[in-house]
Amino acid sequence: MIMRISQIMKDQFMCIDILEGVSTIRDIAFNQGINYFPVIDHHQIKGMITNKELIDVHPNRIAADAMLTDFKFISSEASVWSAKEIFDQQDQDFLLVEENEQIVGVITKLLVVAELGKHIDLLTELYKSDYIYYQIQKCITKNEITSIIFMDVNNFGRIDKEYGHILGDTILKELARLLKQYKPKDAHVCRFGGDEFVLQLSTPIEKCKNEIIKIIDIIKNHEFPNKIPVTISAGMIQSKKCTKIKNVYEATVHLINQASLASTIAKKNKCGISIVHEENEIA
């Protein structure tokens, strides 16, 4: 499930007039515990005041003298991952949350970081599966090509039984490190579950196939603890551009499932990688 902004936003804010005195705003902040003040002039937001501005500006000034004029909006229905991308790309500490052209809350960078910390796999330090779901859905929504590579470890159950779960966990951590190090620059990676990992790229399959083959070879030739031989099988699928998709989530599940089935075929045939070429668009 992809977390929406509306589920974690703070609603403790108060719109104030652009001519309101800073001393009055300070009193409201102190007495009511409000930290964010959108500044309004003729029913339009012209700026934003936070606790920092209230500290820095002389109390005899008005809101217009204290307000920040560089602020951004985000929809309450947007995902937390969307907020992260905005914070990563722009010098912002907060975003104003909109719903039906009305301000309904505030989301902060610290709040987003804290929320996304819950979506990090503690063992491998990779994001969990909902991160990849978001990346795939974003491409489908924009009618862009996306390639999904589903990878799992060959005979990992045997490794666990012969060498123990502690060593098995160590191998998974090392695999995660190798994937982060050698994945294509624009690829997103997650631990999907157990010994399964997924890569997502906004690149046609044929362009990323050689990169994946290289990763498979790197893992095969890497010296793991106790010199345990480790190999992976991978299944690949590429979405098609389609403007008729009715349910983006179902389309995403379909793509991941097909890539998973392809990895099973690769494992069964001991061929390293299997590619699904779909003839029909996902509608």
31-65 pLDDT, tens digit each: 999 999 999 999 999 999 998 999 989 999 999 99
46: left (phi over 0), alpha (psi -120 to 50) or beta: alpha
* pLDDT > 70 in the chain, percent: 96
| Residue 176 in this model has a pLDDT that exceeds 70 | yes
**Beta strand pairing call for 102-108 and 94-99:** antiparallel
Domains in the chain, ordered, with CATH?
5-117 (3.10.580.10), 129-276 (3.30.70.270)
pLDDT tens by residue, 108-157 = 999 999 999 999 999 999 999 999 999 999 998 888 889 999 999 999 99
Confidence label for 280 from pLDDT (cuts 50, 70 and 90) = very low
Q: How confident is the model over 66-75, as a mean pLDDT? A: 94
* Residues 6+ away with beta carbon under 8 Å from 116: 80, 81, 84, 127
Which pLDDT value is given to residue 282? 41
b/e map of 31-58 (b: 16 or more CB within 10 Å)? Answer: eeebbbbbbbeeeebebbbbeebbeebe
Q: Are 142 and 251 in contact (CB under 8 A)?
A: no
- Whole-angstrom Cα distance, residue 81 to residue 133? 11
Q: What is the pLDDT of residues 178-188, one digit of tens each?
A: 999 999 988 99
